[in-house]
Amino acid sequence: MVKLDEIQKRLLTEVADLHTVPEGAYNIRANGESAGRASTANIEIVPRDTKDGLTINIKPGTRNESVHIPVVMSKSGIKETVYNDFHIGEGADITIVAGCGIDNCGVQDSEHDGIHRFYVGKGARVKYVEKHYGSGTGTGKRILNPVTEVYMEEDSSVEMEMVQIKGVDDTTRTTKATLAAGASLVVRERLMTHGEQNAVSIYKVELNGENSSADVVSRSVARDTSYQKFDAVIVGNAPCNGHTECDAIIMDKGRILAVPGLEANDVDAALVHEAAIGKIAGDQIIKLMTLGLTEEEAEEQIINGFLK
């Protein structure tokens, strides 16, 4: 049975919108060990032989099921690297909710590095949601360095929603994807950093098959003295469509570096990148002030909308 303390329960709500044990297959990892696990007829979750993660097997044709694998850490000083492999059978249509919440009230750093590999079968559809959240008053840092690797077979599609809004001090998120013919990848990243936080997002997407497509869009806000780097490369090795976009707001003394990269190795590869960084437009604030909001309230509304 799942036994979680109040802090862990709160973290679980933040990263996976879970108030109780989820329906369907799940594994909840708390302070470095499994606090509960369930498989279903179609989705099998088993520990790796090396005991440093999970293998998740999803049967071909599985429809409308979900897998939750949240991680919560409420002890200071834990550092772990976890490997989770997802094998998604042909024609399956599933939702996977990951996410990590760290509460660090101590002086030692807490770090969770999740290495997720997705092997997506022909025609399978995956919606993947990954939220990162940090809290706690300790001086120990909350560190997350996720690596996501996606191997997509023909005509498969993956939609990834990556969210980090609060409390993570240091993160390097690396996402790599290779796409076969007809496969489609959509990434929506939402990021807000504050204080002295540091966040790096690296994407490398290889479009190897005919009519494959990728759309990688990041919306971010950097406040205080935080720093962000968005480094997105799309490589077109076949007739394909690729689009990457970084749309960012800087505030205070925040800094953002956007490094969009495109590499076309086929004459029919159509690749586009867009990047825009700037402060909140003054007329947006003034418009909301004419409706009676203070400058601070106006900024908050504008950012909330931007990151929605």
Partner 1 sequence: MLKLENISFEVDSDGTDKEIIKDISLTVPDDKLIVITGPNGGGKSTLAKLIAGIEKPTSGRILLDGTDITDMSVTDRAKAGIGFAFQQPVRFKGIEVFDLIRLATGTKITVSDACEYLSAVGLCAHDYINREVNASLSGGELKRIEIATVLAKGSKFSIFDEPEAGIDLWSFNNLIEVFEGMRSRIKDSSIIIISHQERILNIADEIIVLKDGELLMQGSREDILPKLSGTESAVKGCGKGLPAVNGGAQNG
227 binds partner 1 per the rule CB under 8 A: no
Q: Which is nearer to partner 1, 73 or 249 (CB)?
A: 249
Does 259 engage in binding with partner 1 (CB under 8 A)? no
Rounded to the nearest 5°, which phi and psi values hold at 283?
-70, -25
Q: Find the shortest distance in angstroms from Cβ 289 to partner 1.
A: 4
Among 80, 247, 263, 266, binds partner 1 (CB under 8 A): 247
List phi, psi (to 5°) of 8. -65, -40
Under the criterion CB under 8 A, does residue 274 sit at the interface with partner 1? no
| Stretch of residues binding partner 1 (CB under 8 A), selected from 73-81, 125-133, 180-188, 286-294 | 286-294
Q: How many CB atoms sit inside 10 A of residue 85's CB?
A: 16
Quick check: 161 binds partner 1 (CB under 8 A)? Answer: no
- Closer to partner 1 by Cβ: residue 137 or 290: 290
* Residues in contact with 300: Cβ distance below 8 Å, sequence separation at least 6, in sequence order: none
Site mask for partner 1 (CB under 8 A), range 200-219, x = bound: -------------------x
Q: Is 306 in the site for partner 1 (CB under 8 A)?
A: yes
284 is a contact residue toward partner 1 (CB under 8 A): yes
Q: Distance of CA 4 to CAs 30, 130, 231, Å?
A: 8, 21, 37
Of 79 and 287, which has the nearer Cβ to partner 1? 287
Interface with partner 1, residue 293, by CB under 8 A? yes
Q: What length does the chain have?
A: 308
| Least Cβ distance, residue 199 to partner 1 (angstroms) | 20
**Is the dihedral angle over the CA atoms 166, 29, 107, 229 positive or is it negative?**
negative
- 295 sits near partner 1 (criterion: CB under 8 A): yes
Rg of the chain over CA atoms, in angstroms? 20
145 or 284: CB nearest partner 1: 284
Residue type, 178: T
Separation between Cα atoms, residue 203 and residue 188, nearest integer Å: 12
DSSP 8-state symbol, 180: -
Q: What is 192-220 written as a DSSP string?
A: EE-TT-EEEEEEEEEE-STTEEEEEEEEE
286 lies in the binding site for partner 1 (CB under 8 A)? yes
- The encoded tokens of residue 189 equal 């990243």
Conformational region of residue 70, where left means phi above 0, alpha means psi within -120 to 50, and beta covers everything else = beta
The least distance separating partner 1 from the CB of residue 105, rounded to whole angstroms, comes to 34
User: Which residues 6+ apart lie within 8 Å of 121 measured at CB?
Assistant: 60, 87, 88, 89, 90, 91, 92, 153, 156
Question: Which of 43-51, 64-72, 104-112, 289-297 is the region at the interface with partner 1 (rule: CB under 8 A)?
Answer: 289-297
CA distance 192 to 222: 6
Q: Which stretch binds partner 1 (CB under 8 A): 10-18, 149-157, 207-215, 299-307?
A: 299-307
188 binds partner 1 (CB under 8 A): no
| 288 touching partner 1, by CB under 8 A | yes
Range in contact with partner 1 (rule: CB under 8 A) among 79-87, 92-100, 220-228, 292-300? 292-300
Which residues of this chain interact with partner 1, rule CB under 8 A?
A: 219, 247, 281, 283-284, 286-295, 301-302, 304-308
